[in-house]
Chains A and B, each alone.
Chain A
Amino acid sequence: MTDPATQAPTIGVLSLQGAFREHIQALERLGAVAVDVRRRRQLEGLDGLVIPGGESTTIGKLMVSYHMLDEVRRLGEEGLPIFGTCAGLVMLAQEVCEGDQPLLGLMDICARRNAFGRQVKSFETGLDIPAIGAEPLHGVFIRAPWIESAGSGVEVLASHEGHGVAARQGNLLVTAFHPELTDDLRLHELFLGMVRGPA
């Protein structure tokens, strides 16, 4: 819950596998209280949730084994702000273009996994994201997915080579790249803005 003294929101970071520590550090630098979430009971009382980069199949299976998939879906449907990066984007998607894996299915997008290719095709590049300002953001793409298609309620925030790589829909924010691996915190700031709600 938001700390009454400091007004700092409490953000859970799903810490089953992947780059969760980097998200915790980014959120703490912005003054939020970041807590790691490994068990279902730790989902209580959060103001927002981050699903980090990692292997989406691993994260999905662990969420099923520890009965967290349904609970996160319920919280997302109730309006809890959720920010997913890379594997987190895949987890939040309504569907994946190929294969079958456990998903939250909260966001009206179809995600293509490893869309840019295997690791030798992983890349970094500048991205224009008007929603966070004019200065391009340095995007690090690692075996990254892209948004193959999006419903009308989804606002695509950034594209690379014609494919959506960042998007927002209501309480949900996703990126195909890894803002947690760079020092540019503008997307985490955007997410904390969604957590605080309209001023």
Chain B
Amino acid sequence: MKIGTMTVKAGLAEMLKGGVIMDVTDAGQAKIAEDAGAVAVMALERVPSDIRADGGVARMADPEKIKEIQQAVSIPVMAKARIGHFVEAQILEALEVDYIDESEVLTPADEANHINKHKFTVPFVCGAVNLGEALRRIAEGAAMIRTKGEAGTGNVVEAVRHMRTILGEIKRLTSMDEDELFAAAKEHRAPVELVKWVAGNGKLPVVNFSAGGLATPADAALMMQLGAEGVFVGSGIFKSEDPASRAKAIVEATTHYNDPKVLAEVSSGLKQAMPGIEISEIGEENLIQHRGW
């Protein structure tokens, strides 16, 4: 009997496919998410839009809060650790969270190194803006990838850019002959074995979700139609006017992403979405997606 294998780590992500993972900051929100049909919740101290507004250093959530959330729901509980902060990850593993998000939404703890995720029994999900970044994270042991998007903006444009970039780069690899893959690996700054695997299989070796800026059922369905295998919704739910209804609508839109009639129905009468931010107003130096390397 073996625990902590890549099969069981990546396997949990397989079971989350077609589902919605929701950011929550306390047990009450976690319960709302579970009742709405979330496949998992992401425990964090502040949702991304508050992190963006408040500034300061954003860290792992208080273990007490995480335990409360674990008590409140039966679905998987994920939690965020800072990039490179392997001790936060050790603490989260000791708490038996089900997945760790080594996340750019928190303030990075190491400007050169990500966590060596192979050392852990708990699986990791990591953000990526392009194929090379996704494959570097997988080489470090990530068992699931999500696009970074631009968290806390309620603006889906960056999530779309990142998903189209990753899938477009995968498509290009599949059309290359073997001799070209060495140069491609160099260009993507990714291990050649992983580049060859992607070229041969036409997909990432792990599940690929979308995240960062999703705020409506239509946003979720858009990402699914573009090729995401599931979605993370952060501020989009609990910064909206009626979180419970919006959460349920986003779950249904993610399942029925190819059925415009259902999408029209679930999008009706949801009250106000979270306020959105135009990306150009943020300023290049304040973009969260540039964290991580």
Chain A residues close to B by CB (< 8 Å): 15-22, 38-39, 53-55, 57-58, 61-62, 65, 86-87, 98-99, 113-114, 117-125, 140-143, 178, 181
User: What count of chain B residues pass the 8 Å CB interface test?
Assistant: 38
Establish whether residues A123 and B17, one from each chain, have CB atoms under 8 Å apart when the complex forms: no
Residues of B within 8 A of A (CB): 1-5, 7-8, 11-12, 14-19, 34-40, 74-76, 93, 96-99, 121-123, 251-252, 255-256, 259
Q: Which residues of A contact B7 (CB under 8 A)?
A: 124, 140, 181
Given A17-B17, A18-B15, A142-B8, 19 extra CB contacts under 8 A: A17-B18, A19-B15, A54-B18, A55-B40, A55-B75, A58-B37, A58-B39, A62-B252, A114-B74, A119-B76, A119-B122, A120-B121, A122-B12, A123-B2, A124-B2, A125-B2, A143-B76, A143-B98, A181-B11
Measured between alpha carbons, how far is A122 from B5 in the docked complex, in Å?
Answer: 9
Q: List 21 A-B contacts (CB under 8 A).
A: A19-B17, A38-B255, A54-B17, A54-B39, A55-B76, A57-B74, A58-B19, A58-B37, A61-B36, A98-B74, A113-B74, A118-B97, A118-B98, A119-B96, A119-B97, A119-B99, A120-B98, A120-B122, A122-B3, A123-B8, A124-B5
Residue of B4, B74, B98, B256 with most chain A CB atoms under a 10 A cut-off: B74
> Beyond A58-B39, A113-B74, A124-B2, is A119–B98 a contact (Cβ under 8 Å)?
yes
Judging by beta carbons under 8 Å apart, are A22 and B251 in contact? no
Question: Does A57 lie within 8 Å of B12, measured CB to CB?
Answer: no
Known pairs A54-B19, A120-B93; A17 contacts B98 (CB<8 A):
no
- Which residues of B have CB within 8 Å of A65? 252
Which residue of B has the minimal Cβ distance to A114?
Answer: B74
Q: Which residue of B lies closest to A22 (CB)?
A: B14
Q: Is the CB of A17 within 8 A of B8?
A: no
Cβ-neighbour of B3 out of A38, A58, A121 (below 8 A) = A121
A108 to B40, CA, bound (A): 29
Please indicate the chain B residues that have their CB under 8 angstroms from the CB of A62 in the complex: 37, 251-252, 255
Closest Cβ neighbor of B70 among chain A residues: A118
| Nearest CB of chain A from residue B271's CB, rounded to whole Å | 19
* Chain A residues with CB below 8 A from B256, complex form: 38
Contact B11 A17 (CB under 8 A): no
Q: How many angstroms from the CA of A99 to the CA of B19 in the assembled complex?
A: 21
Nearest B-chain residue to A65, judged by Cβ: B252
A154 vs B4: C-alpha distance in the bound complex, in angstroms? Answer: 32
Give A99 Cβ to nearest chain B Cβ, in Å: 6
Q: How far is the CB of A87 from chain B (nearest CB, A)?
A: 7
A residues less than 8 Å from B259 (CB atoms): 38-39
Q: Closest residue to B8 on the A side, CB-wise?
A: A122
Chain A residues in 8 Å Cβ range of B12: 119, 122, 142-143
Chain A residues near B19: list those with CB within 8 A: 17-18, 54-55, 58
Residues of B within 8 A of A86 (CB): 15
The answer to whether B98 touches A57, judged by C-beta atoms less than 8 angstroms apart, is: no
In the assembled complex, the Cα of A55 lies from the Cα of B18 at a distance in Å of 10
Most buried by B among A57, A65, A122: A122
Residues of A within 8 A of B11 (CB): 122, 140, 142, 178, 181
Query: In the complex, what's the smallest C-beta–C-beta distance from B30 to chain A, in angstroms?
Result: 12
Could you say which of B15, B96, B99 has the most chain A C-beta atoms within 10 Å of its C-beta?
B15
**What distance in Å separates the Cβ of A130 from its nearest Cβ neighbour in chain B?**
20
